[in-house]
Chains A and B, each alone.
Chain A
Amino acid sequence: MINTIFFSLLAIFSLFVFMNLGKIKASKKQTDRDNRINRFGSRRGPGNQRKTNSTIVEGEAEVINDKDEK
């Protein structure tokens, strides 16, 4: 009987914790780190370096000639 009450309360309390804590954003310690799993490919570039949001490269345009490449 005590066994049933204990595990029932554990289940209810855990569900309550999940439904409330789940809606809160994770701590900075969790989200602001370089070794996070990069599932969607938009946060970091190669070498775990952060990408900027903009895809426009600022600076002067440079014409590349075939001669220059050689």
Chain B
Amino acid sequence: MSKHSALNRFGRSANPAFTRGFENYSETLPVSERMTLDGAVNKTGILLALCFSGAAIGWNIPALMFPAMIVGLILALVTIFRSKEKAGSTAPLYALSQGIFLGGVTLVYENMFDGIAIQAIGLTFGILASLLVCYKSGLIKPTENFKLMVAAGVGGIFVLYMVSFVMSFFGSGISLLSPTNGSLMSIGLSLGIVCVASCCLVLDFDFIEEGAEQGLPKYMEWYGAFSLMVTLIWLYLEILRLLSKIRSR
């Protein structure tokens, strides 16, 4: 008798619930319920519009900045760790709340350095478009090693932020992260962080491209757009910080 008698009798299950991750989804879902590139890009457009609307609110009512940041953080954690399926409702709320936060932050920077906001917005979208061209043309090829390298970079930056956050409770902090520190070392660090955030954009493009290729469920369009928004917001904040450091010199 075969060792795999159950397999011989019933065959392999095609139910996606019994396979690892999203394996075989493209074979079981109807075409209309599959993730597409069009859908993901349109949803990113919606999230960007919501983010800009939120920024207008945050710009006019800066007091909402910190509550909006906390709400955005909670929504991001819920979307990532609890319910990818509900990304369609959490991602727009995330974009709106983070927009309010960004509006407030931008106002603070704009009061310090006139015209810095439009420079940061232009550079953020400039990086987005140029990296998309590089990705689509095959100039940048995300591989497993590339992913590991970016993950290591993000991990390192996260630890740095956390240390700085904890130190801030004791009235201290890492001076290299200060937006008014115009030293070459500080600018170099910010430049490195911008590079890592840009590499994350490439991984997001690849995720959306592969998701559409594999025919993931429709809600993954929202999740792909959400992950792109998270990276874009991070990139924008880092560019703001980098520009303010350069202006402080």
Are A40 and B45 in contact, with the CB atoms below 8 A?
A: no
B136 cross-chain contacts in A, Cβ below 8 A: 21, 24, 26-27, 30
Bound-state CA distance A63–B129 (Å) is 58
B44 cross-chain contacts in A, Cβ below 8 A: 18, 22
Interface size class of B (residues with CB under 8 A): 35 or more
- Min distance, Cβ B84 to any Cβ of chain A, angstroms: 13
Are A8 and B122 in contact, with the CB atoms below 8 A?
A: yes
**Which residues, 15 to 30 on A, are CB-close (under 8 Å) to B?**
15, 17-19, 21-30
B37 cross-chain contacts in A, Cβ below 8 A: 22-25
Which residue of A6, A23, A26, A27 is within 8 Å of B122 (Cβ)?
A: A6
Residues of A bordering B, CB below 8 Å: 3-4, 6-8, 10-11, 13-15, 17-19, 21-31, 33, 35-43, 53, 55-56, 61, 63-64
Bound-state CA distance A40–B124 (Å) is 29
A-B pair count, CB < 8 Å, reads: 128
Are B115 and A4 in contact, with the CB atoms below 8 A?
A: yes
Are B125 and A29 in contact, with the CB atoms below 8 A?
A: no
A30 cross-chain contacts in B, Cβ below 8 A: 135-138, 141, 209
Which residue of A11, A23, A26, A40 is within 8 Å of B126 (Cβ)?
A: A11
B210 cross-chain contacts in A, Cβ below 8 A: 36-37, 39-40
